[in-house]
A and B are shown apart, each in its own frame.
Chain A
Amino acid sequence: MNNVFVYCELEGNKVADVSLELLTKGRKLANELGVKLEALCVGYKLDGVESQILPYGADKVHIFDAEGLFPYTSLPHTSAVVNLFKEEQPQICLLGATVIGRDLGPRVSSALHSGLTADCTQLEIGSFDMKVKEGDQMVDKHYENQLYQIRPAFGGSIIATIVNPEHRPQMATVRDGVMKKEIVDANYKGEVVKHDVAKYVPTTDYVVKVIDRHVEAAKNNLKGAPIVVAGGYGVGSKEGFDKLFELAKELHAEVGASRAAVDAGWVDHDRQIGQTGVTVRPKLYIACGISGQIQHIAGMQDSSMIISINSDPDAPINQIADYVINGTVEEVIPKMIKYYKKNSK
């Protein structure tokens, strides 16, 4: 009871990376709270799925395995999670901020009347003080061991810490790549519980039919690229991005973008770096015409080296850059390409 739960997302019987990252985070939170870490798998043909999960330190793996539970649809997965949670009373539930996590999480939180925070970039344990109404009076109340759900908010101009002191579970979604996955012990021992799906999921839940489904491997390798050339609003146009692609090709880098550039339609959505995009940790990050809103910084601040090319010497991103080039992207990038072509080994 009152353990930390991670909903493990599945493609077939493969557990998504984001879920393994959350298991790692969940393990740390569980250690701090002195409770157990439990994982939850809902899908079809899941024999042996626990072998992917236990090494990350799960003490118990709950499995719901039945035809109709893959591909994911909203109602059956909601029922499995909600009805299990009614029995288990978790204190924390973590989900990937993926299409599935963002479809499922809100339904579960609504059904259990618990708080949910989307796209967290940090999760910590701490205390909280709040005035609460007792009878006719407002009294101070102190809460220990709360989950701090930390996220950039409001277009990325601020960082907010959210708590849900009076409701359980405390729910949070986290994007792929934000937390780091780490095997605790390849032989970690945990209990595996196979649940009778019919007890948790009424047959009336199977109402949405998936008629057709195409899943492709990601078109870019932004998450794993050692060098990222990223463009922002200062790139100015779609044509401006062509130059970034040219530099990236020379450097064997991937091209990323800020939300502003994606919103402007200059580059595909799947290249967006930041809180609502991909999180990257390259050895070199070249920020081209990116002002550096927190929402963007959240997705690239762990880069080993940062170069900022910006015509505004006061751009916030320059604060965290190792090298600052005061100039326009238009002017600087061709010079970089030219020098590199001439001098690379």
Chain B
Amino acid sequence: MRILIVEDEKSLSSEIKHFLEKEEYNCDLAYTGTEASELIAVNPYDFILLDIGLPDYNGLDLIKEAKEYNSEAYFIVITARGELEDKIKGFDLGADDYLPKPFSLLELLSRIQAITRRKFGHQSSIINFGDFALDTTKKHLQYSDKNIDLTKKEYKLLSYLVLNKNRVLDRLQLTEHIWGDFFEDDFDSNYIDVHIKNIRKKLSSFDDSNWIKTVRGIGYKFEI
């Protein structure tokens, strides 16, 4: 997978690159719209992360331009301006997702993965752990063909943990994924823990293994 990161803040784009390269993505950097435009013209990218607040270019024009050369690329628009009209315009012009700054890198990754699954038609949408099977297209969990009743949020939480298996997810990342960038100011409340407790209870009625590990003071980790 080849990704172009169009972001004028060098420090931010290098962090994104660093993170995504660890996830086996090839990343190119463009700091200006002109650079981006040149790179898009010659390289076939799978994804383009685009900060629409570029100094020399209207980021949205870049989408239009890119669509002419490279209709295969998927766009994730990043903005700190949060203009409401731009949000709508972005989608109209073919942006596939939208992330307001600041975002967590894990959330960015999960958006990329979601688009990949959606657009590329992932070979297998079923993830197995033990005798459990998590179907990410049908959005349900089964234990040896037996449906396990999960609430919407429980499913979202569990699938996020499973898709990012063997990685520590902190409470903020989980909150951001489930509740979005909604104005939430009490992170210390334990409602994430309550959901985890409920998921564990539902899993443990089928299987004794402790799939979801608590990482003290930070969050949770799904271990396979």
A complexed with B:
no
